[in-house]
Amino acid sequence: MTSRIPNAVDAEKSVLGAIFLDQQTAPNIFDEIRETDFYLNQHILIFQAMKDLFKERKSIDYTSVKSVLEHKSQLETVGGLLYLLELSEYTVSIDHLETYIEIVKDFSLKRDVIKVTQELATQGLTTDVNSAEYLDKVEQAILSLSQRRKVGQFTQLSEIVKSVSEKLHFLQNNKGEVTGLTTGYKTLDKFINGLQPEELIILAARPAVGKSALAMNIALNAAAKNKGGKAGVAIFSLEMSNDQLVSRMISNISNIENSKLRTGYLTATEWRNFEIFTERLNTYNIYFDDSSSSNINDIRAKCRRLAQEGKLDFIVIDYLQLISVDSNKSTNRQEAVSRISRELKQMAKELKVPILALSQLSRDVEKSDDKKPTLAHLRESGSIEQDADIVIFIHREDYYNQGAEGENSGQTEILVRKNRQGRIGDIKFIFTPQYSRFQEQSNLEEPSN
């Protein structure tokens, strides 16, 4: 039986070809893969040339890579210009790039395991070392290899104390100020202290109550009112199209009714407003994805790419129950939703950004006397409550009193029912559906000194 050193040359070619095909993939690939992860030396040299160009903020194409390799006298070593042309045409799609990256990393780790174990075996056979020292070397080598896997590591207490101390000093120097991203709503910010990194926030309501509109308002405010209007917001809409969402945003800030944007019957003044406010929208860093078939892995991969480019500060997902899952891994819908909520929380921690995920409420809320939602009404999964740092409900009397006097009052309550780091309570809002606009009506009493 012949043995062969583990390698995946085709996957390596696909990774290098992906960079030639789409330079936007470069940050993610450089973050995931090291030069030594490649098996072929020529691929190592090409990869290093690409990284050199990336660090110098230069375009990465076969001409620029050729120039770098020529400067280093490495062009003939890698196979010349013909090999670069072959790589640039090798990958026809980046759809499976994450798979190619994982294959390259997996085979690299296997090779390193073989190399380390062979070296350990040689040391045990040829050197005069006692068993305790030898075992210690083995443990150190295996630990070093295991840390290359995607697993968390312990953090020393002193590092955590330092982090807590820095946060405390920051809070002391910024008393009364929101420390997270502002939602654009003063009272809501005081309840939750803004949108904090690593937090999973659940916004839940019955259908047609306005949860998508409120999420859109918060997303728009987050983009416009943080980091000098340059905060990066990713919106995943699994129910509404990108056009519908942006139309709502335009209506919200321009005072043009949604219905007019659907029909195109605008006055001259409204057309001027449309032009003015769409120009303003164009300055915001908001990224939309309305792929109705998105699963949690797709969402995570897209957010990682934005984060690696420094373009991600906040994520909105509309809505949780529509995220598709691998049916082979879940026996029923409740288990699937539980897994999604856990992975959303893990994603918030990994990317260190707040995630606002919308959720449906069960019909049971309509059976209660006051029709106000509680945590027990979260649909399909108790784990949503468990995984969330904050749970917010929307309650509108108008929704249950259609046809009654005052049905168009717009009176709305935002119910903060879970908050790990802040207060619980109700906040009064006015909802104007024709403009998809939520306006805060109540103010907190300032604490006495």
DSSP character at residue 176 = T
Instruction: Using the structure block, give the residue that is written with the tokens 């296997």.
Output: 110
Strand ranges of the sheet holding 437-440, from the earlier edge strand across to the other edge: 285-289, 232-237, 314-318, 355-360, 200-205, 390-396, 411-419, 425-432, 437-440
Sign of CA dihedral 55, 13, 23, 102: negative
Q: Out of 98, 239, 335, 413, which one is annotated catalytic?
A: 239
Identify whether 405 is a catalytic site residue.
no
Strands (E) in 134-280, as ranges, are: 200-205, 232-237
Distance CA 184, CA 219 (A): 9
Tokens of 304: 């990682």
Instruction: Using the structure block, give the residue that is written with the tokens 């953090």.
Output: 155
Instruction: Using the structure block, give the residue that is written with the tokens 């005069």.
Output: 128
For residue 360, give the 3-state DSSP assignment. Answer: strand
Q: Considering only CA atoms, which of 173, 174, 167, 207 is closest in space to residue 189?
A: 174
Q: Considering only CA atoms, which of 290, 288, 289, 378 is closest in space to residue 340?
A: 378
Residues designated catalytic: 239
